Amino acid sequence: MNTQIDNLLHEYRKFPPSEEFARNAVATTELYEEAKADRLEFWARQARELLDWETPFTRTLDWSNPPFAKWFDDGRLNVAYNCLDRHVEAGNGDRVALHWEGEQGDSRTVTYADLTAEVKRAANVLSGLGIGEGDRVAIYLPMIPEAVVAMLAVARLGAVHSVIFGGFSADSIRSRVDDASAKLVITADGGWRKGKVSALKPAVDAALQARGDLGPQETVTNVLVVKRGENEIDWTDRDLWWHEEMAKAEPEHVAQSFPAENPLFILYTSGTTGKPKGILHTSGGYLTQCAFTHKIVFDLKPESDVYWCTADIGWVTGHSYVVYGPLANGASQVLYEGTPDTPHPGRWWEIIEKYKVTTFYTAPTAIRSFMKLGRKIPKQFDLSSVRLLGSVGEPINPEAWMWYRKVIGGKAAPVVDTWWQTETGAIMISALPGITETKPGSAQVPIPGINVDVVDDDGHHVGTGNGGLLVVAEPWPSMLRGIWGDPERFKETYWEKFGDKHLYFAGDGARLDHDSDIWLLGRVDDVMNVSGHRLSTAEIESALVAHPFTAEAAVVGAHDDTTGQAVVAFVIIKESMLEESAAVEDIAAVLRAHVGEQIGPIARPRDVFIVNELPKTRSGKIMRRLLRDVAEGREVGDTTTLADTTVMQIITGQVTAK
């Protein structure tokens, strides 16, 4: 099969760092030189300098049994101690760890001393319930401080957490609890979302009830319940109130060290059929790369920065860049419970103004949603504190990048577009602020110490100006250590495509521009084959969003008798352009012509459907497979993971009415 991906869209704008930013930047060009000279010693230095080790490691990497890597494996440390106690011991206990903001406007300020004390008590609670090294604990909570406390308390005991996103169904909870054989579930009576309390405990109850011939869920001995939503809940003998158990717990807890390869968490990938895929991460290597990338990619100044990553802890971004990376570095950050448009569409910007957020990290889908509403909303708030912007989750198109920089960053804040995955554990590709001349829409370069390549189907480097498959060519500290309980699936899924070359295949397409900078082209599964040309959905979506009318677009390939596949686009119009676009006789024709001009006739969509919303998961990912169902006239597949399950009914109605 030809995996060469045509790259037809070109971007020439560049933004060098300001002299002042470059002068004070945390990252230096020497990092690249040091990593290139001796990659393993480079990572060893990061691990020694960024973390406290009770038993120093003497072995950096054991790659004797690929693809099963061991990093720093003869060293011992405690992850929670590195995120908490050591900052208090260093005299920074009064520093704010979390500025927590509830959707309803309630707030809490949690210092490092407060958070450490809470985690010590919680560790004693869990220990009293029989949780110890290697035991699995499922966490199903809203974005409240107790969620962070729970994760760190599990880590403190050397146990393994499996955080389940607070919007998942009882079936999703059950499959994850079963696969991990969890002994304990930590949940809440409810959580605020879109002005209402969403029920959480009932979903846990449904997940753990008797199931016909299988009998009851036998591994779960207790359910700890945080009081948050004031919901009426059914109570069983295994249920315990979090606040009551915390009040009874001893305040002191001495953190024990564990091997660097001790499992830290399992995170299940969502949206796939069949058995959930439990991605396993361990401790020392993961924490090293999280701390390092958080420090250099976000130019961290812990004494003065207020950092905000909008991700939920149910996703890997919440693990790595809300909990472990920032807290290991002693950062002060914002934690927000609700949605960006409740109780008003300027909620996020209001929070930035309130806490004087300096560093803001969010998803392209959120940025495009704000573009749809227009700049008039963020302009109502003082965003002058923002000095750095980050993007994560999927490729960001150049126009959204430019809007983000201009409107939120005041035309001055650098934008770092980061590529990484649940499986990689931490950021792999990103501009480094103060060093990199940034390009709108490009992830740009591997971070120091990471070896990434773009290859053809035989694993050969494609060269500059070409597109292909994105691979990681050498083991990295925060890499997944396997799929929980299924080593063969781990090898087959990620490592077998290129035989014995031991290249990790990410599943993403990418291209190298003439500077060798990397541009993500989306999932290879989403690449379309139109008249023999392999076209990236990301490039066509970028072209559509470059039109003044368009706020957001999703593109899929649909079967076509003539061309093999045809391009079908679903487009949201900016609110500020609704009147103007309504006056256009055939807006679809205008947008089709625009793509033809931007990229070329081969990429011009066969169909353009104007819609009000796109199907997105609660993490902001567009579910293109559902749009493909509509485009090909099939019955729409499973919509349970969508943030709004009614969206597909509306889109289907709009398409069939055309």
pLDDT of residue 619: 67
- Looking at domain 527-657, its CATH architecture is 2-Layer Sandwich (3.30)
Q: Give CA–CA dist 473/451, Å, rounded.
A: 5
State mean pLDDT over 111-132. 98
State mean pLDDT over 248-254. 97
pLDDT of residue 472: 98
What is the per-residue pLDDT across 610-634, written as a single tens digit (0 to 9) for each? Answer: 998 899 877 677 888 889 888 888 8
Q: Give CA–CA dist 416/430, Å, rounded.
A: 6
pLDDT of residue 278: 95
What is the per-residue pLDDT across 215-226, written as a single tens digit (0 to 9) for each? Answer: 445 789 999 999
pLDDT at 270 over 60: no
453 φψ region: left (φ > 0), alpha (ψ -120 to 50), beta (else): beta
pLDDT of residue 272: 41
Q: Give CA–CA dist 339/102, Å, rounded.
A: 10
Q: Which residue has the tokens 């700890």?
A: 224
**533 pLDDT tier (thresholds 50, 70, 90):** low
What is the per-residue pLDDT across 382-415, written as a single tens digit (0 to 9) for each? Answer: 999 999 999 998 888 888 999 999 999 999 999 9
Long-range contact list for 412-416, CB < 8 A, 24+ apart?
Answer: 412/18, 412/387, 413/386, 413/387, 413/388, 413/389, 414/15, 414/17, 414/21, 414/388, 414/389, 414/438, 415/389, 415/390, 415/391, 415/440, 416/297, 416/298, 416/388, 416/389, 416/390, 416/391
Global confidence as pTM: 0.86
pLDDT of residue 658: 62
Q: Which residue has the tokens 């760190």?
A: 152
pLDDT of residue 196: 83
The mean pLDDT value of the chain amounts to 91
State mean pLDDT over 273-289. 88
Q: Give CA–CA dist 551/572, Å, rounded.
A: 6
Calculate what percentage of the chain has a pLDDT beyond 90: 67
480 vs 366, which has greater pLDDT? 480
Point out the least confidently predicted range of 230-244, 245-259, 268-282, 484-498: 268-282
pLDDT of residue 215: 43
**210 pLDDT tier (thresholds 50, 70, 90):** low
Cβ-contact 362, 589 below 8 angstroms? no
Q: Where are the domains of the chain?
A: 527-657
In sequence order, which residues have a C-beta less than 8 Å from that of residue 210 and are 6 or more positions away? 216
Q: Give CA–CA dist 633/202, Å, rounded.
A: 36
CB atoms within 10 A of CB 646: 10
What is the per-residue pLDDT across 418-466, written as a single tens digit (0 to 9) for each? Answer: 999 999 999 999 999 999 999 999 999 999 999 999 999 899 999 999 9
Q: Give CA–CA dist 283/366, Å, rounded.
A: 31
Calculate what percentage of the chain has a pLDDT beyond 70: 94
What is the per-residue pLDDT across 156-201, written as a single tens digit (0 to 9) for each? Answer: 999 999 999 887 778 888 889 999 999 999 999 988 888 887 889 9
pLDDT of residue 100: 98
- Dmax over CA atoms of the chain, in Å, equals 72
Q: Could you tell me the sign of the dihedral formed by the alpha carbons of 418, 419, 421, 427, in that order?
A: negative
**211 pLDDT tier (thresholds 50, 70, 90):** low
pLDDT at 23 over 80: yes
Q: Which two tokens stand for residue 249?
A: 């717990």
In 3D space, the residue among 268, 283, 372 whose CA is nearest the CA of residue 54 turns out to be: 283
In 3D space, the residue among 529, 525, 589 whose CA is nearest the CA of residue 560 turns out to be: 529
pLDDT at 274 over 60: no
541 vs 295, which has greater pLDDT? 295
605 vs 527, which has greater pLDDT? 605
Cβ-contact 157, 184 below 8 angstroms? no
Q: Could you tell me the sign of the dihedral formed by the alpha carbons of 294, 297, 298, 299, in that order?
A: positive
State mean pLDDT over 46-61. 98
pLDDT of residue 4: 56
Cβ-contact 237, 251 below 8 angstroms? no
Angle between helices 537-545 and 587-598 (to 10 degrees): 120
In sequence order, which residues have a C-beta less than 8 Å from that of residue 365 and are 6 or more positions away? 393, 394, 552, 616, 620, 621, 622
Angle at 498 between CA 496 and CA 502, to 5 degrees: 75
pLDDT of residue 213: 46
What is the per-residue pLDDT across 517-532, written as a single tens digit (0 to 9) for each? Answer: 999 987 787 777 776 6
State mean pLDDT over 247-261. 98
Residues 63, 321, 516, 22, Cα dihedral to 10° = -120
pLDDT at 640 over 80: no
